[in-house]
Structure 1
Amino acid sequence: MIELGIGMFGDVQINAVTGQIQPAAERMKEIVEEIKLMDEVGVDFFGMGEHHREDYAVASPEIILAAAATVTKNIKLGSAVSVLSSADPVKLFQDFATVDILSNGRAEIMAGRGSFIESFPLFGYDLKDYSELFDEKLELLTRLNKQDAITWSGKFRKPLINQQIFPRPVHGSLPIWVAVGGTTSSVIRAGRMGLPVMFAIIGGAPENFKPLFEVYQQAWIDNGHDMKDFQVGVHMHAFFGENSQAVADKYYPVYAGQMNRIGASRGWPSYQRSQYDFGRSIHGHLVVGDVNQSVEKILHIIDMFGLTRFSAHMDVGSPDHSDMMKAIELYGGQIIPKVKEALKKGE
């Protein structure tokens, strides 16, 4: 059965006129309230991102998730993503095992290389080792997940000699997902290792990702993994309202503002309304609209890729907390049930 969840990066509100930045403490309190509501309305999973910038409130997803574990009962709690390249896999595993214990077995890790680079100098890593760091640390993380005691050596840290790792997760191991952008080598690695993949489709036409999905599935099969264990998802920018045009118009300046803040540091041209409107179409990368439009778009994406998981990334630009709560209510209370019912009828 398909899982439908929500991802966030913890964007803080930035006043377009004054430049005033919302305090992280205020945004974190809102995030915990939002996760609590997700659990109450039946959202399947929540993912929290890791950033080390003033426009994002959360540097340690596992701490927010630990707080959320105490106010939720059913929702899966994971990162989206943990920047594994600049993390210590042992500490990361211990932290998420702790969240798993607090949540009675609901924790997940989603490992990624990250699209921002601030964590590398912050934690003493060299960007020239970007790919090697991820390869080595992903191998170590998956070993830690399978073995209570580990002997291991690599290039970027001291060896582990018959080292026991505590605490252990509730069920002995954690679900570990790999987040990828558009890199063929990344999906082949995940397929070879038998790890589920979350594709970030945050621009352009989703159908352009189909070859990568096919490469991933072929790598999975070629390396002898059972298709009954095959899991694949997408992460797409989303927002929901009762009236399609009204929510689109209200959300546009919030979304465009964040796109332009990020774009300014990357040399992107100014974000245009035409890009946004195309993104909202059936052929685009945005799921922004009313219940029926959103159900149609999500079903289209699920069918296109044969998904087992869909993640609506809902806080780009940090909409008002009240708007976020309304969007979560619509998603959990109406959109998710309609998507699942349509899929059930189509079986």
Structure 2
Amino acid sequence: MELGVFSLTDIHAAVEGGTRPTPGQRMDDVVAYGILADRLGLDLFGIGEHHSHDFAVSSPVVALAAVARATERVRLVSTATVLTTLDPVRVYQDHATLDLLSHGRAEIVAGRSAFAEPFALFGVDPDRLDEIYAEKLDLLLQCRDHERVTWSGSSRPALLDQEISPRAYADRLPVWVGVGGTPTSALRAGDLGLPMMLGFIGGTLDNARRLVETYRFAGEQAGHDPATLEVGLAAHLYVGAATASARDDAYPYYRRYVSSPTSRSSGWVVSRDQMNDLSERGGALLIGGPEQVAAKLLDLADQLGIDRFLGQVDFGGMPRGMVESSVERFAGEVAPVLRAAG
């Protein structure tokens, strides 16, 4: 299983009060986490995309380029690129440039966005999201697979034998389909034979299993080799010294994160008992000591057959030192258990 961490770059003042960090300060922290992930031998580092004052990064590929020049081996992942609001030609060009800068370490997770904020900003009709996403994903794959592209659709002007440059560093740039909770997205990923990155941010393991089964069924029905149907999982992650203290430490930040109003929702108040339940084996949260987090990930590997895991490690204003300690435990104590298990 490939292992990594990511940030959605949300901005909050410290829980105990104090000055809200600037976007620049948050970017400094996020880039430092990418460098740390590389130094500790993790496989992946990701940055998400948002378009409001509640988040620091609107262009993950730019922030990942900063990480690329300060690292050597960690793969650089958009988590996720909001494809519905962007020009697929430019998305490919930007990530191919990142791939060149990083000597072949760039990957795209192409999502629709669960947040409403970008649609008005970029003039996208929310009622046409699925149609627009499918069309833009097709063009992105055409750009990925061919140096010259002829294409037509409703979401941008047609292309007639147009050269698409620059090309990625080597072979084909990996494109994953980002999936929230909709079976339609899982069916699309399977039908195309593309790897699926599933956001496991709520609900139960049974819900996640149904989406993974839907994806694999669609892929096999479309004639794709089951061995090529890869599944990634993204979830909130905090690894403390022990399970009880980890939950004590993480709860104020998790509560802050999920209760903060966003363009997606007005937020919701989570009790300590609810967080504890979600942190147990079978729940969506990976908050605990190294042994418990490793056990949960082994469960996920066994029951879902996941090929990679990405943990969202900084949320709700969690201090940099606390994030870095969590990443160090994840890389130094959890990862060896998972790798030894195969």
Cα distance in 2, alignment partners of residues 10 and 172 from structure 1? 31
CA 1:178–1:324: 2 relative to 1, 3 Å: same
Gaps of 5+ in 1: none
* Cα distance in 2 between the residues matched to 1:141 and 1:264: 27
Local SS of the residue matching 1:266? coil
Please give the alpha-carbon distance, in whole angstroms, between the structure 2 residues aligned to 1:152 and 1:42. Answer: 41
1:288 deviates by: 0.7
Q: What is residue 195 of structure 1 aligned with on the other side?
A: 194
- Kept in 1, the 8 Å contact 2:246–2:288? The answer is yes
Instruction: Within 5 Å, give how 1:133-172 maps onto structure 2.
Output: 133-172=132-171
1:321 partner amino acid? R
CA contact (8 A) 2:259 2:266 kept: no
Matched with 2:35 is 36
CA-atom RMSD in angstroms: 1.6
CA deviation after TM superposition for structure 1 residue 139, in Å: 0.7
CA drift of 1:302 comes to 1.1
Does 1:246 find its partner at 2:232? no
SS in 2 for 1:138: helix
Shift of the alpha carbon at 1:309?
A: 0.9
Equivalence map 1:1-347=2 (5 Å): 2-16=1-15, 20-262=19-261, 266-267=265-266, 269-341=268-340, 343-344=341-342
Deviation at 1:270, TM superposition (A): 2.1
User: What is the number of equivalent residue pairs in this alignment?
Assistant: 342
Deviates more, 1:125-134 or 1:138-147: 125-134
SS across alignment from 2:58: coil
2-structure distance, mates of 1:285, 1:329: 21
Partner letter of residue 65 of structure 2? A
Query: Is this contact kept in 1: 2:15–2:253, CA < 8 A?
Result: no
Q: Give me the whole-angstrom Cα distance separating, in 2, the residues matched to 1:260 and 1:269.
A: 5
* Superposed displacement of residue 263, structure 1: 7.0
In structure 2, the gaps of 5 or more residues are: none
For residues 260 and 130 of structure 2, the distance between their equivalents in structure 1, rounded to whole angstroms, comes to 27
- 1:228 offset after TM fit, Å? 2.5
- Quote the offset at 1:280 in angstroms: 0.9
Deviation at 1:100, TM superposition (A): 0.3
Q: Tell me by how many angstroms 1:268 deviates.
A: 5.0
TM-score, normalisation: structure 1: 0.95
Q: Distance in 2 between matches of 1:339 and 1:313?
A: 18
CA deviation after TM superposition for structure 1 residue 14, in Å: 2.4
- What is the CA distance between 1:21 and its match in structure 2? 2.6
Q: Is the 8 A contact 2:99 2:168 kept in 1?
A: yes
Q: What amino acid does structure 1 have at the position aligned with 2:83? A: L
Q: Is 2:260–2:266's contact at 8 Å kept on the other side of the alignment? A: no
Q: State the one-letter code of the partner of 1:83.
A: V
Q: Deviation at 1:269?
A: 4.2
Letter matched to residue 82 of structure 1: T
Structure 1 residue 115, shift from structure 2 partner: 1.0
Contact in 2 for aligned 1:83/1:113 (Cα 8 Å)? yes
Mapped partners of 2:136, 2:45: distance in 1? 24
SS in 1 for 2:260: helix
Cα shift at 1:209: 2.0
CA contact (8 A) 1:181 1:199 kept: yes
CA distance, structure 2, for counterparts of residue 116 and residue 22 of structure 1: 22
Q: State the Cα distance separating 1:182 from its structure 2 match.
A: 1.5
Question: Is the 1:207–1:304 Cα contact (8 Å) retained in structure 2?
Answer: no
Amino acid corresponding to residue 91 of structure 2 in structure 1: L
Q: In the TM superposition, what is the alpha-carbon distance from 1:266 to its structure 2 partner?
A: 2.3
Change (3 A) 1:48 1:105: same
**Cα offset, 1:124, TM superposition:** 2.0
* C-alpha distance in structure 1 between counterparts of 2:188 and 2:147, whole Å: 24
* Identity fraction in percent: 37
Residues 4, 45 of structure 1: 8 Å contact kept:
yes
- How big is the shift at 1:46? 1.1
Shift, 1:273, TM fit: 1.4
Q: Is the 8 Å Cα contact of residues 14 and 319 (structure 2) preserved in structure 1? A: no
Range moving further from structure 2, 108-117 or 199-208: 199-208
| SS state at 1:7 partner | strand
Give the TM-score normalised by structure 2: 0.96
| Structure 2 Cα separation of the partners of residues 84 and 265 of structure 1 | 17
Matched residue of 2:54: which SS? coil
1:10 counterpart SS class: coil
The alpha-carbon distance between structure 1 residues 55 and 143, as it changes in their structure 2 partners (threshold 3 A), is same
2: CA distance, partners of 1:267 / 1:156: 31
Does the 8 A contact of 2:116 with 2:264 survive in 1? no
- Contact between 1:263 and 1:270, CA under 8 Å: does it hold in 2? no
CA distance in 1, matches of 2:201, 2:227: 28
Deviation at 1:13, TM superposition (A): 2.5
User: 1:119 deviation in Å?
Assistant: 1.0
CA contact (8 A) 1:302 1:310 kept: no
For 2:325, the aligned partner's letter is K
